[in-house]
Homo-oligomer: A and B are copies of this chain.
Amino acid sequence: MDEAAFINSETIDDIAVGAAFLGTGGGGDPYIGALLAREALDRHGPVRLVQLSHLNDDDALFTSAMMGAPTVLIEKLLSLEEADSAVRALERRVGRTATAVIAAEIGGVNATLPIAFAAFRGLPLVDADGMGRAFPALQMGTFNVAGVSCAPVALADEYGNTVVVESLSAAVAEKLARPVVTAMGASAAISCYAMTGAQAKIAAVAGTITAARKIGEATRRDSASATPPLARLIAALEGLPLYRRAREVFHGKITALSRDTTRGWVLGRCEIESPDRRSHAVVEFQNENLVIEIDGAVAVIVPDLITIVDYETARAIPTEALRFGQRVSVIACCAPAQLRTPAALEVVGPAAFGLTGTYRPFDTPPQ
| A residues apposed to B, CB below 8 Å | 89, 159-168, 172, 175-176, 178-180, 182-184
A172 to chain B: which residues have CB within 8 Å? 159, 161
| Cα distance A163–B172 in the bound complex, in angstroms | 11
Knowing that A89-B166, A159-B172, A163-B180 touch, tell me 15 more A-B residue pairs with CB under 8 angstroms.
A159-B168, A160-B168, A161-B165, A161-B172, A162-B167, A163-B163, A163-B164, A163-B176, A175-B183, A176-B180, A176-B183, A176-B184, A178-B183, A179-B179, A179-B182
Chain A contact residues, majority secondary structure: mixed
Determine the residue in chain B with the shortest Cβ distance to A173: B161
| Cα distance A302–B165 in the bound complex, in angstroms | 35
- Closest CB in chain B relative to A97 CB, distance in Å: 18
| Cα distance A178–B164 in the bound complex, in angstroms | 15
Determine the residue in chain B with the shortest Cβ distance to A155: B176
A163 to chain B: which residues have CB within 8 Å? 163-166, 176, 180
A168 lies within 8 A of B161 (CB): yes
Task: Pick the most buried of A160, A168, A176, A178: most chain B CB atoms within 10 A of its CB.
Answer: A176
- Closest CB in chain B relative to A199 CB, distance in Å: 22
Determine the residue in chain B with the shortest Cβ distance to A167: B161
A168 to chain B: which residues have CB within 8 Å? 159-161
Determine the residue in chain B with the shortest Cβ distance to A166: B162
A166 to chain B: which residues have CB within 8 Å? 89, 161-164
| Cα distance A289–B357 in the bound complex, in angstroms | 51
| Cα distance A162–B184 in the bound complex, in angstroms | 18
| Cα distance A182–B178 in the bound complex, in angstroms | 12
Determine the residue in chain B with the shortest Cβ distance to A160: B168
- Closest CB in chain B relative to A188 CB, distance in Å: 10
Chosen A-B contacts, 9 in total, with CB atoms closer than 8 Å, are A159-B168, A159-B172, A161-B165, A161-B166, A161-B167, A161-B168, A161-B172, A163-B165, A164-B166
Closest 9 CB pairs of A and B: A179-B179, A161-B167, A164-B164, A162-B166, A163-B165, A179-B183, A176-B183, A175-B183, A161-B172
A161 to chain B: which residues have CB within 8 Å? 165-168, 172, 176
Determine the residue in chain B with the shortest Cβ distance to A165: B163
Determine the residue in chain B with the shortest Cβ distance to A176: B183
| Cα distance A184–B160 in the bound complex, in angstroms | 24
- Closest CB in chain B relative to A295 CB, distance in Å: 40
